[in-house]
Amino acid sequence: MSGWLGVVSAAHVRRGMNLGIAQINHGKRAPLARMKAGDTLVYYSPTEQRGDTVPLRAFTAAGVFPDDDIWQADEGDFRPYRRRIDYFAVSPVPLAQLRSSLQLTTAPNWGYQLRRGLVPLGEHDLNTLLKVMNA
């Protein structure tokens, strides 16, 4: 089992939670295929809405993948790939509250890796995030 950090706006995270799905990198298949059944995904939302100029910078949701099924949804002109995910009952936590506790944020320019949209999380960071989000 592995931990992952997905970078998605808070509004898109909430939509995914309502649908019980995970979607990464604007619906690309490859990031979803990197994760396996039993893996945990934590969402980091840099903004409330995609394209916002006001930062949110919060960890907004977390869940576990129950299976390895990936499918392509049909939303007219938009056909994103998705996976089922069982979301945990957690509360959003601002990055500022955890920044000094995470290994992810210790390197200079650590934020550049978030541009990939999906980042592996070490066991320490995954456990720290889940503990604080469950508090």
24-53 pLDDT, tens digit per residue, is: 999 999 999 999 999 999 999 999 988 878
**pLDDT given at position 30:** 97
Q: What is the CA radius of gyration of the chain?
A: 14
Q: Are 128 and 94 in contact (CB under 8 A)?
A: no
Give 74-108 pLDDT, tens digit per residue: 999 999 999 999 999 999 999 999 999 999 999 88
Q: How confident is the model at residue 54 (pLDDT cuts 50, 70, 90)?
A: confident
Q: What is d(CA 130, CA 23) in angstroms, rounded to the nearest whole number?
A: 20
How many whole angstroms separate alpha carbon 25 and alpha carbon 47?
15
Write down the pLDDT at residue 88.
97
Percent of the chain with pLDDT over 90: 90
